[in-house]
Amino acid sequence: MSGDSIVVDTSLIINLFNGIADVKELIVNRNLFVSVISEIELLSFPNLIEADKQILKNFLSECYIVDIEPAIKDITIDIRAKYKIKLPDAIIAATAIYFDLPLFTMDKGFEKVTDLQSVILSLQ
């Protein structure tokens, strides 16, 4: 695992764009891996104005977008069976596990996935 590379999920990216300074500090100068699931979630928010969509696309263009390859699919199946979490979260967790990278998130639901290295940021 490289200390400069992390997987970030939808909740973290949303809070980055909501101006949470702690999030920006966590991701600066890192290689960001983003599951295609987070890309879809971010760009499909209802009422997202075109200017905001373009800002998100620009941000995502600086990230490594990870598609669901066969190994990630297999890990996702195991995670869903073992932890009974939502499919999008299972895919995001599987992505981090596959690349042996920590997942940076603000979603406490990932705590139950003990196979996952996660950094769960909370708003104080």
Mean pLDDT of the chain: 94
Select from 7, 5, 88, 83 the least CA-distant residue to 41: 88
For the segment(s) 5-120, the CATH number from 3.40.50.1010, 3.40.440.10, 3.30.420.10, 3.40.50.720 is 3.40.50.1010
Q: Are the C-beta atoms of 21 and 40 separated by less than 8 Å?
A: no
Residue 5's identity, in one-letter code, is: S
Q: What integer pLDDT is reported at residue 1 of this predicted model?
A: 43
Select from 59, 34, 75 the least CA-distant residue to 11: 34
Reported pTM:
0.92
Q: Tokens standing for 13?
A: 């990216």
Q: Give per-residue pLDDT as tens, 21-70.
A: 889 988 999 999 999 999 999 999 999 999 999 999 999 999 999 999 99
Q: What integer pLDDT is reported at residue 6 of this predicted model?
A: 97
What are the extents of the domains in the chain? 5-120
Q: What integer pLDDT is reported at residue 26 of this predicted model?
A: 87
